[in-house]
Every structure is written in structure tokens, then in C-alpha cells.
Amino acid sequence: MTAMEYTALGVSVLIFMIGLAGSLLPVVPGSLIVWLGVIVHRLWMGAEDSVTWKIVILGGVLTLLGQLADFVMGVWGARRFGATWKGAVGAFVGAFVGFFIPPPLFWLIVGPILGAVIGELAAGRSFRDGGKAGIGTVVGGILAFALKFGISVCVICLFFLDLFFV
């Protein structure tokens, strides 16, 4: 490998590490950052010394699925634990609003729980029902974190498999 190839690979690996760390945080597009690492390498090194466009496109599709799941899983978890549609909407709104309230990491976790509880109370249900919806939001969020991290690892593995073995 040439110095340019080592440099491009080093930059991509750095982007991958940032993306993996970001994929563990709610709403942060960690898998998108990982995918950008693939794109940067492809554009930097060209067709002869990088991954194929199939890998870039597949990585993009997986990334899109991960981002959609990140937004939907909290709502799914709330519904799975018995939330009404108001509780599910409250969880979604809580996640969205929590993104803008400092410190965002804290409110990205607490916001959906509070939103689900408030949504359930607005629907005329008990605080206990709201609490169950909030727990469901947490479960959905944990599943979304795991899915995003898994997708990020998968995209990185596809990158290295295509780069070195295909």
C-alpha cells in the first residue's frame, strides 16, 4: 500500500470510530457518519483502490434503515407496553424536543419517557399506565441503540471485506 492509501484508510477508520461512538447516542446519526467514512474513502481513492459502488449503496440503505429505526423504535416500545396513540406521539415529541434542550443527551433519554407519560395522562389514563408507556419507550430506545450499533459494525465489515478480499 502507498502512503496515500494508508492516509485514506486512516481517515476512514477515524471516521468509523467517531460514527461508532455516535451510534450509541440517541438521535445522533452514528451510522450515517460511518457511511460517510465509506463514501470519503471511495471518492478519495477512486474505483481502482477502494470499495465498489455496490458497497456504498448497500451501506446507504442499511444506514437509512438504522436512522428510521432510531426514530420509530421508541414509539414502537411505548405501543408494545400498552401506550395509546397519544402516548406514542408524546414519546416521539419528547424525543424531538429533548434534542434541543440542554443538556441534550439527558433530555434525549428523559424526553421520550416524559412525553409518553404526559401523552397517556392526556388520554385520560392513569399515571401507572403512563409509567408503563415510558418504560416501553426506554426498551424501544435500547433496541434502537443496539440496532444502530450493529448496522454500523456491519457497514464497516462490508467495507473491509470488499476493500481487502474482493
Cell of 149: 450499533
pLDDT category of residue 65 using cuts at 50, 70 and 90:
very high
The pTM of the full predicted model, rounded to 2 decimals, is 0.81
CA distances from 36 to 28, 44, 64, 117 (A): 14, 12, 12, 37
Quick check: 156 pLDDT over 70? yes
pLDDT computed for residue 26 by the predictor: 64
Question: Domains in the chain: how many in total?
Answer: 1
**Count of CB atoms situated within 10 Å of the CB of 42:** 22
Query: Looking at residue 48, what DSSP letter applies?
Result: T
State the Cα–Cα distance between residues 110 and 127, nearest whole angstrom. Answer: 16
Q: pLDDT (tens digit, 9 = 90+) per residue, 2-50?
A: 999 999 999 999 999 999 998 877 667 889 999 999 999 999 999 899 9
Provide the residue range defining the domain that includes 29.
3-165
